[in-house]
A and B are shown apart, each in its own frame.
Chain A
Amino acid sequence: MRHIISVLLENESGALARLVGLFAQRGYNIDSLNVAPTDDPTLSRLTLVTQGNDQVIEQISKQLHKLIEVVKVSDISEAAHIERELMLVKVKAAGNQREEVKRCADIFRGQIIDVTPATYTIQLVGTSDKLDAFIQALGTTPILEVVRSGASGIARGEKTLAL
């Protein structure tokens, strides 16, 4: 099953390498990984999407906790949460296709953020599923480039993952 794990870790050199190394060493898989400093510059917030049964996810969470620089770990997909991913897609858009791509982007509430006579670059934000669906919906439109940020997530309601 797909899980979204949020981690607060010390913003120190080597901390990220240690965390990523843990996944490689123990054979856990990473679907996506997203990391940046928080409002507190000594802390980084990391969102990691992984797959595994309950036992594997429990081990991942425990092993992450063991890393000295990890401050907090939470499997936010266990409860109500919000998930967002940013995608930039550059597509070939000439002739009839131009209008169709624009319509499709509008349906998905995407924005065209760069234009040339032959291409569009579309920005889209949503759950990873929604981004997948948009790529499907582009159909025969030739895709030139896809850049995805990986999911970021936050718990709904008053629950927080902070110091």
Chain B
Amino acid sequence: MTSQTQPDDKSAEHNRSTEMLSGAAMVIRALADEGVEYLYGYPGGAVLHIYDALFQQNKVKHVLVRHEQAATHMADAYARASGKAGVVLVTSGPGATNAVTGIATAYMDSIPMVVLTGQVMSHLIGGDAFQETDMLGISRPICKHNMSVRRPEDIPYLIKKAFHIAQTGRPGPVVLDIPKDMTMPNQKFPYHYPADINLRSYQPKQHGHSGQIKKAVTALLSAKKPILYAGGGVIMGGAANELTELAQLLNLPVTNTLMGLGAYPAGDKQFIGMLGMHGSYEANQTMHHADVILAVGARFDDRVTNNTKKFCPDATIIHIDIDPASISKTVNAHIPIVGLVKPVLTDMLALLKQKKKKLDTAALAQWWQQIDQWRAVHGGRYDTAAPLLKPQYVIEQVSKITKGEAYVCSDVGQHQMFAAQYYPFNKPNRWINSGGLGTMGFGLPAAMGVKLNYPDADVVCVTGEGSIQMNIQELSTCKQYGLGVKIINLNNGYLGMVKQWQDMNYESRYASSYMDSLPDFVKLAEAYGHVGIRVTTPEELQPALERAFALKDQLVFLDIHIDPKEHVYPMQVPGGAMNDMFLSKTERT
């Protein structure tokens, strides 16, 4: 097989440009030309030429993490907050394999990222050389695309191609493997960064099919029990405004997936909460009884649908998604629309505004009456009379002190669900969590990535004593770069979500879910040069939060001891329909 596909006008491009650069310098220069400000990474043998080129310029700044996984999560979180691809640079072998979890995390949540991995010299590949690993083979199932550099002069084209693929269509991480001999400092080649890329085999759609859009609008206008179900595609597609306008024009109840929180303002009366496994009672009931579901940038994940055989029996499903493979994958869509959510919603809005047919306001009023009754059933209640600190209360207080405006970066477990349920996200790109892969250890580096790029914003890491220890070494990186993240450690001494399942399904046999010998997190934070505050009673919480958020530029580690017996509710009954739920330890629908 031949090697790389080359742009046709390559020689012409080279003639226009006289600048001669080494492969290493080209890597950094291409990133600068792409507008990259920060590069997250960790040096090693195979990438030393690139690091040397990095050292000799000041456009692209490098952030040195303490473990490559953190570099990938930092880049990923930057992408989630900004919509632009984050960039990672790691060495071959263990450097690359340490980045694997972060690449998979970004892939599952469709996050644009460009990961540059070092590789041993070309002539050594396949010979089990020192720090050699087949990163193309390892990353193939967990990235949108991967490529390797075969000729140094291809570097600018390949980097442009990586960004193009990562950021268009359904976004995702792209891995570019760079053998060390492609970056030799003394071998120079003409440099030209292509303005854009056209790939014959990759032409993602933009606009939806107009006939399908017409059908969708007709279905929505005649709906008596509609619901709008919006996912992460709305956030990454930058379509929160269009979505909000559409929902308000049609008076639709709106539910967001875990990935879609902030796509519609949580403070608005039409918002009925998150749906799915730990969704609100009203969101799951409204879904189940709906006659028309408008799914936008969501993928009918198993954590949403529960048993697909019992899923929303009466609904006509309209599904807007950029990825045709996400449509009718788990649940059959009656009106599929393939396209980017923003232009599709814009087209729908234009069509709706022309239409003479009015909404069935009487039916909608009745539907809203029903929804309000469901709202009253659970309403996010929890035991406020208990003497121990409740995690829900902590999140409510964090939301209060940050006025609901913070970037909330979560780890994975009970605390993640409490944050999703009790922090009202009114804007997109503010809720940063590993929804698809469920990566413990994501939260702290994610918060770092956001704080670095948005230094004036409040950035909170909601975590637990289990998750935080999976990347706790990054407290050192925070010190080096002055990242004033606020860590809300909901410490219950257990791997809470595991324990909850053991309580519910294994007669409370806590197999390996209790952590003995936890560190003193306050001392630990102090050892890294930060501020640590321990909170053990409800009364201590308010002053501790005030102190923490007043220390603007400092990292504050709040070790908050919460009720170890608390469970996350509502919770769907496994194998049931959307609306089969446990509402507390003793109530079931």
Please, how many residues of chain A have a CB less than 8 angstroms from a CB on the other chain?
A: 28
**Is the C-beta of A95 less than 8 angstroms from some C-beta in chain B?**
no
Once the chains bind, are B201 and A70 in contact (CB under 8 Å)?
yes
**Which of B136, B165, B170, B201 interacts with A10 by CB under 8 Å?**
B201
Once the chains bind, are A68 and B144 in contact (CB under 8 Å)?
yes
Once the chains bind, are A66 and B323 in contact (CB under 8 Å)?
yes
Please report the C-alpha to C-alpha distance between residue A133 and residue B581 in the assembled complex, in whole angstroms: 56
Q: Closest B-chain residue to A25, C-beta based?
A: B141
Please report the C-alpha to C-alpha distance between residue A17 and residue B329 in the assembled complex, in whole angstroms: 24
Once the chains bind, are A12 and B5 in contact (CB under 8 Å)?
yes
Once the chains bind, are B4 and A59 in contact (CB under 8 Å)?
no
- Residues of B close to A21: CB separation below 8 A: 140-141
Q: Closest B-chain residue to A64, C-beta based?
A: B325
Once the chains bind, are A59 and B325 in contact (CB under 8 Å)?
yes
Please report the C-alpha to C-alpha distance between residue A103 and residue B280 in the assembled complex, in whole angstroms: 75
Once the chains bind, are A42 and B2 in contact (CB under 8 Å)?
yes
B321 to chain A, nearest CB (A): 11
Chain B interface secondary structure, helix, strand, loop or mixed? Answer: mixed
- Residues of A close to B323: CB separation below 8 A: 66
B452 to chain A, nearest CB (A): 30
- Residues of A close to B199: CB separation below 8 A: 68
**Is the C-beta of A58 less than 8 angstroms from some C-beta in chain B?**
yes
**Which of B3, B5, B141, B324 interacts with A65 by CB under 8 Å?**
B324
Once the chains bind, are A13 and B200 in contact (CB under 8 Å)?
no
- Interface flags for B11-31 (1: CB within 8 Å of A; 0: not) read 000000000000000000000
Once the chains bind, are A163 and B200 in contact (CB under 8 Å)?
yes
Scan residues 182-239 of chain B and give those whose CB is less than 8 A from a CB of chain A. Answer: 199-202
Known: A10-B201, A18-B140, A21-B141. A63 touches B325 (CB 8 A): yes
- Interface flags for B147-162 (1: CB within 8 Å of A; 0: not) read 1100000000000000
Please report the C-alpha to C-alpha distance between residue A71 and residue B140 in the assembled complex, in whole angstroms: 19
**Is the C-beta of A46 less than 8 angstroms from some C-beta in chain B?**
no
Once the chains bind, are B1 and A12 in contact (CB under 8 Å)?
yes
**Is the C-beta of A11 less than 8 angstroms from some C-beta in chain B?**
yes
**Which of B2, B202, B325, B329 interacts with A11 by CB under 8 Å?**
B2
Known: A70-B201, A71-B200. A10 touches B5 (CB 8 A): yes
Please report the C-alpha to C-alpha distance between residue A16 and residue B140 in the assembled complex, in whole angstroms: 12
Residues of A within 8 A of B (CB): 9-18, 21, 25, 37, 41-42, 44, 55, 58-59, 62-63, 65-66, 68-71, 163
Known: A21-B140, A71-B201. 8 other contacts (CB 8 A): A10-B201, A11-B1, A12-B1, A12-B5, A13-B3, A55-B328, A59-B325, A68-B144
Residues of B within 8 A of A (CB): 1-5, 136-137, 140-141, 144-148, 165, 170, 199-202, 323-325, 328-329
Q: List the 7 shortest-distance A-B pairs measured between CB atoms, nearest first.
A: A62-B325, A71-B201, A68-B145, A25-B141, A68-B202, A62-B324, A11-B1
27 A/B residue pairs, CB under 8 Å, sorted by A: A10-B201, A11-B1, A11-B2, A12-B4, A13-B148, A14-B136, A14-B140, A17-B137, A17-B140, A21-B141, A25-B141, A37-B1, A42-B2, A44-B1, A58-B328, A59-B325, A59-B329, A62-B324, A65-B324, A66-B170, A66-B323, A68-B145, A68-B165, A69-B201, A70-B201, A71-B201, A163-B200
